[in-house]
Structure 1
Amino acid sequence: YASGRLQRVLDDARPAVLLHDASGLAALGDWAAHDTILCNVCAPVTPWQAREAGNPDRHRLGLTSRNLAYIIYT
C-alpha cells in the first residue's frame, strides 16, 4: 500500500502496538506513532523471547472467548 493509505489506516485504527520490520516501517513514511508502541519483529532481542516456546495456558492467564484475538482492518 502507499504510505498515505497506511497512515490513514493507522490513524483510524489507532493500534496500541504495531509489529513491523525495517521495510514495513519505511513504508509508513513520516507517520508519527502517537501512543502506538512500535515493536521491531527483526530486532536482535524481542519482548517475547523470554516467553515459553509453546502456547501459554489460557486458564492460567485468565483468557476466555471474550478476549480479543485478532483484528483485520478492511
Structure 2
Amino acid sequence: MFGLGMPELIVILVIVIVLFGAKRLPELAGGIGKAIKNFKKSMSEPDEIDVTPKKPIDESKEKKEEGKDKS
C-alpha cells in the first residue's frame, strides 16, 4: 500500500489525532469520504456541460444589418 507499513500508518494516525483532536476526527473522516465519493462519481459520469451552440450565428448577416442602421 504505497510502500507504507503498519508502523508508518500508526504514526500518521497519531499525528492526525494530535493535530485535529479526537472530537473532530469523525467529522474529518466524513468530509474526506464525501470528497472521494464525489470525485469517483464525477469521473464515472459523462460531462454534463454542453458547450455546443444551439444555432449557428451568422456574423455577416449581423454586420449587414448594422451597416443599414448607420446610413
TM-score range, shorter chain: under 0.3
TM-score of the pair, normalised by structure 1? 0.24
Q: Higher relative contact order at CA 8 Å, sep ≥6: structure 1 or structure 2?
A: 1
- Which entry has the higher C-alpha Rg, 1 or 2? 2
- Between structures 1 and 2, the one with greater helix share: 2
TM-score of the pair, normalised by structure 2? 0.24
